[in-house]
Amino acid sequence: MKKFSFVAVVLVLICSGVIVACTGCGGSKEDPNQVTMWHWMTDRDAVLQQLAQQYEQETGVKIKIELFAPSDSYSQRITASSQANTLPDIFGILDKKEIFADFIRYGFVANLTEEFAKDGGAWEKSMFPKALDVNRFKPDNIYGIEPGIYGVPIDVTNIQMLYNKKLLAKAGIKKAPTNFSEFLASIKALKRVGVSGLVSGWGEIWMADAFASNYAFNIMGEEKVMATYKGDVKYTDPDWIKVLNVFKTLSEAGAFMEGIVTKPNKEAEQDFALERAAFAYNGSWCVNVYHDMNPSLEYSAMLPPTINPKRPMKIWGGAGSSFVVKETSTRKDKAIAFLKWLSAEKQQALLAKETRNLPANRKALESIPEVLADFASVMDNTTHPTIWKYNELPAVTEAFDKGIQSIIIGEKTPKQVASEVQAVKERETEKAKRRQ
């Protein structure tokens, strides 16, 4: 009996240990003077750690910075932690605005509007408005979220075209093309000297989507694009066919580098840095990447060449890296104070210098390289799905983006793709209605 009791006690202890370990009840006691921040930016980890140490020296508040990369895994971790109620004091939401809204709706994210409004709105005024817009919910937002600012941007980004000065000169092109016909002429000239035209990482399909979106805004304007997403305009509309025709025209002109449709952006960046293509379509983060790959690369940024001269070319941008504060954090004030410090001019200048990213604080612009300044100069031309009134249904976006691939590889015509996308749109709208 004694032996039996001993075995029973040991087994019960083992089981309890397993259950406690699995449920996370055995977590360490929270330190009231330590703020935890989770991020996903491998290239910025070192400088963030350095800034955290500096902050501790200045204020005595310890900032524990933890890196979880890549961004897909980070995003999954944030979702899982919200379910397990183990979110850190500061974290980022990398998903669409709809998911961001859900995080707010279910009480995971603090409203920072009052903080931004303090001292006559000094904090808000120091930021690029486009960067703040990503974290802002307007009074008429379709998500039903209380209007306000819910996140702090630490950098901004935009996606433009880049050109290799040396390769353009080799082809006898004196200035970067500003409209579509000039661009096609440049492609012809480059082909004559055996240089590939445009490279981009369209194996990461959202980049092709961004390029198409640029032309959609240029050809038909924001209102009509939004009307399409809302369901009032069909994808078979001539303007949408024109957008899809951009890809057909470029493909037929041989403008795209071979294999562009399955090319990861890292490979596309390598192609441009190693001067295998004259033009690239890439984000402002590329300045850091190109510098590492080929420090002597001579290049500059340009807006994608317009088709409709009456409308400005709108590019994706504004959305850089942003952080939010956990609503239920016991160290909420300390977390906000750290983010305020991190987004101040001095810290932003250091971040921009060390990582060659565009700072979110406008005053920190003076310390950035020339190419990055080119990117910064068109921040007013930026737009982004996270600030649009309407967003397209994911299945429709997928059909549209895959349709672009089909056009580039010559499998389908723009008209075929437009009809197919419209069919998906009607099916998905019907499905969404049934769900309601």
Partner 1 sequence: MTTATTPKPKKDMKSMAENYLFIIPAVVIFSIFYIYPFYDILNLSLHEWKGIGPKIFVGFRNFQELMVDKIWWKSIWNATYITLWALTFQNVLAFMLALACDREIRFKKFYRVVFFIPPVLSQVVVGLIWRWILYAGQQDGQHIGLLNHFLSQIGLSHLANNWLSDPKTALTMIAIVHCWQGFGWGFIMLLAGLQTIDKQLYEAAKVDGASSWSQFWNVTMPMMVPVMLVVVILTVLGAMQAFILVLSMVGQGLVFHTEVPVTRILAAMQGTKQFGYACAMGVNFAIILIAVSTIMKLFSNKMKQA
Catalog residues that contact partner 1 under the rule CB under 8 A.
4, 7-8, 11, 14-15, 18-19, 22, 72, 75-76, 79, 82-83, 95-96, 98-99, 102-103, 105-106, 108, 194, 196, 201, 203-205, 257-264, 267, 271, 274-276, 394-395, 398, 402, 405-406, 409, 411, 431, 435
Q: Closest separation between CB of residue 347 and partner 1, Å?
A: 31
d(CA 146, CA 336): 19
Q: Closest separation between CB of residue 128 and partner 1, Å?
A: 28
| Helices (H), ranges, 275-331 | 286-293
* Residue 184 structure tokens: 């096609």
**Rama region for 236: left / alpha / beta (φ>0; ψ in -120 to 50; rest):** alpha
| 319 within 8 A of 386, measured Cβ to Cβ | yes
The phi and psi torsions of 162 (rounded to 5 degrees) equal: -125, 150
Q: Closest separation between CB of residue 74 and partner 1, Å?
A: 11
> Which CB sits closer to partner 1, 129 or 394?
394
- Report DSSP state, residue 149: E
* Residue 355 structure tokens: 């990582």
* Residue 305 structure tokens: 């060449």
d(CA 93, CA 344): 21
Q: Closest separation between CB of residue 385 and partner 1, Å?
A: 14
> Which CB sits closer to partner 1, 21 or 373?
21
Helix/strand/coil for 282: strand
Cα torsion angle, 340, 341, 344, 348, sign: negative
Chain centroid, CA 376 distance in Å = 16
Q: Is 221 exposed, middle or buried (0-12, 13-18, 19+ CB in 10 A)?
A: middle
> Which CB sits closer to partner 1, 11 or 46?
11
Q: Closest separation between CB of residue 73 and partner 1, Å?
A: 10
> Which CB sits closer to partner 1, 79 or 141?
79
- CA 46, 335, 129 angle in degrees (round to 5)? 80
> Which CB sits closer to partner 1, 7 or 122?
7
Q: Closest separation between CB of residue 13 and partner 1, Å?
A: 10
Helix/strand/coil for 267: helix
> Which CB sits closer to partner 1, 106 or 309?
106
| 207 within 8 A of 265, measured Cβ to Cβ | yes
Q: Give the other-Cβ count within 10 Å of 143's Cβ.
A: 12
Q: Give the other-Cβ count within 10 Å of 160's Cβ.
A: 24
> Which CB sits closer to partner 1, 201 or 359?
201
Instruction: Using alpha carbons, select from 86, 149, 62 the residue that is nearest to residue 328.
Output: 86
- CA 75, 77, 81 angle in degrees (round to 5)? 120
Q: Closest separation between CB of residue 49 and partner 1, Å?
A: 27
Q: Closest separation between CB of residue 252 and partner 1, Å?
A: 15
> Which CB sits closer to partner 1, 143 or 292?
143
> Which CB sits closer to partner 1, 310 or 433?
433
Strand partners of residue 256:
198
Instruction: Using alpha carbons, select from 61, 135, 54 the residue that is nearest to residue 92.
Output: 135
Q: Closest separation between CB of residue 160 and partner 1, Å?
A: 22
Q: Which amino acid is at 366?
A: E
> Which CB sits closer to partner 1, 257 or 368?
257
Q: Closest separation between CB of residue 262 and partner 1, Å?
A: 4
Q: Closest separation between CB of residue 305 and partner 1, Å?
A: 23
> Which CB sits closer to partner 1, 119 or 267?
267
- Residues 6+ away with beta carbon under 8 Å from 220: 237, 239, 240, 242, 243
